[in-house]
Structure 1
């Protein structure tokens, strides 16, 4: 009767600038409308001429009255989060956002520096939820709104090294419990008991969940 989805994430360290390793691919999201019935996490919408990202939504069908959708939206420009309620099936404007390939090059103070692989221009952004699983050299999508980079999309799946976790206890199996593990980016992920420091794990960056151990 109700469905709730949300997103999570953490931080990255600093290192020398890496070489550009990949070619640019451009994707344009055309301005239009979307039904609130089709809301999904990460969807970009425009409200009061401001770009927002859907970070949480809930479809509600009350016993009496019309169905509606509760949502949490994050303003790309201010970083603020607002709660809005829409009628089920209501049409909402999508934000005219362009996506272009870029690369995370390094962290300087509190700013994350990205390079546009088409123009080789640098863009600096303050830390946001996309930073949780971001490693230097990672290829990302730069999000442009009115010609300005407002955010980035990181790959959905990342292989990360575990730098701190409690030791494995002999006899733990794949079907055992779980424990927290700190990854090389600083993100803390719940992992199976058999995972050890120094191992690499695959993580879903949209949910922050452990997926599997990566064989080196």
Structure 2
């Protein structure tokens, strides 16, 4: 069991039989030496984020999360839709060392990772009680630019940003010098452009 003083950012605990990761933890002092912990936690199965006030008298069981090396294969639409009518998708993965050993996760389970997943992308699978419950992307991934917003002739490297569309369908802001076909590096934790990895030759005007 984890005591009150052992609860901090990054620790995995069990609440109502579900694994949660502490995202933020700050002590709030109430006077006379008494304090509580204000925490934000993410459910590692559903990705839902909750806020919780934890008191010194509370103890929590540590969630034992194991990691395996895995690879994303493909996704497909399922019959059930979201409440707004949008299609839901299932994402199929396999263990890195055994392509036949596969598992699937729903779009809402992997949350923002859907924006940066392409077939063949290596990930880490999270296992809880012998079941794979979610995946973690590398902090940085390389993706191809398939479309850019119109630029202004004469734009220079430090002149601002524009919207680009990646091969996964994600839209992000990038420097004005980024072109269609470029390979760029993306930070998957905040969804931001990091740098250009490979540049495509400029097309000559006809």
Unaligned regions of 5+ residues in structure 1, if any? 1-30
Q: Alpha carbons of 1:194 and 1:68: their partners in 2 closer, same or farther (altered >3 Å)? A: farther
2:41 is equivalent to residue 73 of structure 1: yes
- Higher radius of gyration, 1 or 2: 2
2:186 is equivalent to residue 203 of structure 1: yes
2:136 is equivalent to residue 169 of structure 1: no
More deviation, 181-190/78-87 = 78-87
The separation in 2 between residues aligned to 1:196 and 1:81, in whole angstroms, is 36
Q: How does 1:1-216 map to 2 (within 5 A)?
A: 35-36=6-7, 38-40=8-10, 44-54=12-22, 56-57=23-24, 59=26, 69-86=37-54, 93-109=61-77, 110-119=89-98, 120-127=100-107, 128-129=110-111, 130-216=113-199
Q: Alpha carbons of 1:63 and 1:112: their partners in 2 closer, same or farther (altered >3 Å)? A: same
Number of residues of Structure 1 aligned to a counterpart in Structure 2: 181
**Greater strand proportion:** 2
Q: Alpha carbons of 1:46 and 1:156: their partners in 2 closer, same or farther (altered >3 Å)? A: same
Question: What SS does the aligned partner of 1:140 have?
Answer: strand
Q: Alpha carbons of 1:215 and 1:86: their partners in 2 closer, same or farther (altered >3 Å)? A: same
Contact map agreement 1:105 1:136 (CA 8 A) in 2: yes
The separation in 1 between residues aligned to 2:38 and 2:73, in whole angstroms, is 37
Unaligned regions of 5+ residues in structure 2, if any? 78-88, 200-206
Superposed CA offset, 1:8-39 (max 9, x none): xxxxxxxxxxxxxxxxxxxxxxx967834x40
Structure 1 residue 91 displacement after superposition = 7.2
Structure 1 residue 124 displacement after superposition = 0.8
Structure 1 residue 77 displacement after superposition = 3.4
Structure 1 residue 62 displacement after superposition = 7.0
Contact map agreement 1:182 1:188 (CA 8 A) in 2: yes
Question: What SS does the aligned partner of 1:121 have?
Answer: strand
Point out which structure has higher relative CO (alpha carbons under 8 A, 6+ apart).
1
The separation in 2 between residues aligned to 1:66 and 1:189, in whole angstroms, is 45
Question: What SS does the aligned partner of 2:118 have?
Answer: coil
More deviation, 76-85/156-165 = 76-85
Cα RMSD (Å): 2.9
How high is the TM-score relative to the length of structure 2? 0.73
Contact map agreement 1:125 1:151 (CA 8 A) in 2: yes
